[in-house]
Amino acid sequence: MSALRVLKSLNSIQTLALTWKREGLLVGFVPTMGSLHPGHISLVEQARTAVGPTGKVVLSIYVNPTQFGANEDLAHYPRGFREDLKLCRSAGVDVVFAPCDRDMFLVGGKADYSTWVEEQQISMGMEGAARPTHFRGVTTVVAKLFNLVLPDVAVFGAKDFQQAAVIGRMVDNLHFPIRIILSPTVRESDGLALSTRNRYLDPAHRAQAVVLSRLISKAREVVGKSRGGILANELRTVLNRVLEGFPLARLDYIEFFCPSTLQPLGRVKRGSQMAVAAFLGSTRLIDNGPL
């Protein structure tokens, strides 16, 4: 295994990526906002499997300010660069790319950044409705990172199902020659999806955060027992009863949708997808899964 390299300048990563291209090496890419946990590391493993032992795996750490809304947690978002590097080293990452805001958004040091990438269909509902500028920030930064890292494959977590779908659409629509891999959600033993934001939870809220995965498993059970599916409204009524057992949780949304088009469904069947967002105190968590 080669030693981990840490690159911060845009020029250094792009030059290295171009060298790799000339040498015919495959590149796998895992974009993250750092504060890494085993969910992120599972994406690294997928990237390694995709590019093989001779390929290169790049993980980026960039807390993208443009994907946070004005009243969101950008200033408090957990950061732990040293710990992240340790995890990357043991996971066999070749390069950690950690750019700064100045380089990403101030061209030549001037405040003349004015180019945005925006998906205008599947990014509109769910997270896009709850966080109106979020996906524009995500797609813009991911497109920039793709142009810097020049990956052959990029790995995204199913935990952020809509994000992965929006990026898949961007890659198709803008002809990025990149294969997108969707990697399964890694969970705690009680079902809570691993997330950097779980660190904000105090013990009482942590105990009730299991509500998101419980709602999904209840919906799965109900849909599994139904013949030909169930009306979305009926399913919501069942799930509202589950919610009553978790008084510290404040529901933001539950959606049932087609996993390929992300269109909302009036009738929910096996193979439909469900997404849920809820506040536990001031911490907003999301989860999703197939039914």
DSSP string, 133-199: THHHHHHHHHHHHHHHH--SEEEEEGGGHHHHHHHHHHHHHTT---EEEEEPPPB-TTSPBP-GGGG
Annotated active-site residue in 37, 40, 76, 134: 40
On whether the CB atoms of residues 219 and 268 are closer than 8 A, the answer is yes
Strands 249-257 and 273-280: antiparallel
Q: Tell me whether residue 77 or residue 232 sits nearer to ligand AMP (CB atom).
A: 77
Query: Which residues in 188-227 contact ligand AMP (CB under 6 A)?
Result: 193-196
Residue 156 within binding range of ligand AMP, rule CB under 6 A: yes
Write the interaction track for ligand AMP spanning residues 29-58; mark x where CB under 6 A is met and - where it is not.
Answer: ---xx-----xx-xx---------------
273 binds ligand AMP (CB under 6 A): no
Three-state DSSP class for residue 259: coil
Residue 84 interacts with ligand AMP (CB under 6 A): yes or no: no
Strand 179-183 to strand 230-231: parallel, antiparallel, or no bridges (unpaired)? unpaired
List Cα–Cα distances, 164 to 93, 122, 284, 287, in angstroms: 21, 11, 19, 13
Segment interacting with ligand AMP, rule: CB under 6 A, options 99-107, 112-120, 179-187, 205-213: 179-187
Q: Which stretch binds ligand AMP (CB under 6 A): 50-58, 69-77, 185-193, 267-275?
A: 185-193
How far apart are CB 273 and ligand AMP at their closest, in Å? 15
Q: Which residue is nearest to ligand AMP (CB)?
A: 157
Classify strands 230-231 and 267-268 as parallel, antiparallel or unpaired. Answer: antiparallel
Active site positions, annotated: 40
Which chain residues interact with ligand AMP by CB under 6 A? 32-33, 39-40, 42-43, 156-157, 159-160, 183, 185-186, 193-196
